[in-house]
Amino acid sequence: MKLSIAFLQLLPTGSLEGNMKKGIKACLQAKENGADIAVFPEMWSCGYAFPHETAGLRECAVPCDGSFVKQFSELAAELDMAIAITLLEQHEPKPRNTVCLFDRHGKLQYRYSKVHICDFGEADDESVLDAGDTFFVADLDAKEGTIKVGSMICYDREFPESARILMLKGAELLLVPNACPMELNRLAQLRGRAYENMLAIATCNYPSPHPDCNGHSTLFDGVVYLPELSGSRDTCVLETDEGEGVYMAELDVDMLRDYRRREVWGLKNRRPELYGEISEKRCI
């Protein structure tokens, strides 16, 4: 089984309507390029730019059953292509940073809200948002078969527990909408998460010159060793440049599954009875 992934590394337009139209156009291009799934960068509905005063923030947020999200649900069915659309979601008491994954039939597979919000005590951080409270894994029906998919959003990847929980829930592929500089260390994080959990990670970022972003969307397939190779292999299938565009990469799902069957990383030698301290609240 092969899965073709489109990374919609796009500059926002400055309006909800403009982002919807530009997003639809990018999805059409992705389908023309043979995509099975298209992934947006973080909070595409507002281009990861949102007011921090209450009234403006509420006005900027959009409902998951509203026209913006519905357009992409209908488009997924029309194109026979899964779409991971991102938004500032209307939610009480505060909006959330959310990704909705629609399968190629237009059916919602999960609505995941960012668990680890960026609350740094700064005027422009995500402290005005609500955090999500669980991770989801769905069986995504693709043309060549079914694959288990979950999501992290940007800052979630800084916490190894995010990817580990998703792997333990059966995820084979993580879709990661992003809005930050993807430099050496963040790229190394993604490579490490894919390696230690034997799963693929597809991250879609905003291009330069979007504030604090630089493109470098990536696909790491998580397959470190192959029987025919004497050493390890590069798990990076795709790393884009900083420019705007619709970028394509192919995930070899069969190769990943063969690897997971014969290797032991992440699962066989775990000792969860010793890991209780990980969930304790403490300060270093």
Which pLDDT tens digit goes with each residue over 56-108? 999 999 999 999 999 999 999 999 999 999 999 999 999 999 999 999 999 99
Confidence of residue 120 (pLDDT cuts 50, 70, 90): confident
Q: Is this structure's pTM higher than 0.75?
A: yes
Question: In sequence order, which residues have a C-beta less than 8 Å from that of residue 83 and are 6 or more positions away?
Answer: 27, 37, 38, 40, 72, 73, 75, 76, 101, 102
Alpha helices, DSSP H only, in 107-265? 160-168, 184-197, 253-262
DSSP-derived secondary structure letter, 80? T
- All domains of the chain in start order, with CATH: 2-279 (3.60.110.10)
What pLDDT shows up at residue 117? Answer: 93
Neighbours of 2 (CB within 10 A): 14
Max Cα distance, the chain (Å): 60
Tokens 């301290």 belong to: 277
Across residues 216-229, what is the average pLDDT? 95
Among 7, 14, 76, 81, CA closest to 45:
14
265 or 225, higher pLDDT: 225
Q: Comparing 24-28, 108-112, 226-230, which segment has the lowest mean pLDDT?
A: 226-230
**How, if at all, do strands 245-252 and 37-39 pair?**
unpaired
66 or 274, higher pLDDT: 66
User: How big, in percent rounded to 5, are the helix, strand and coil portions of the chain?
Assistant: 30, 25, 45
Burial zone of 118 (CB within 10 Å; 0-12 exposed, 13-18 middle, 19+ buried):
middle
What pLDDT shows up at residue 123? Answer: 66
What pLDDT shows up at residue 264? Answer: 81
Which pLDDT tens digit goes with each residue over 169-210? 999 999 999 999 999 999 999 999 999 999 999 999 999 999
What pLDDT shows up at residue 278? Answer: 83
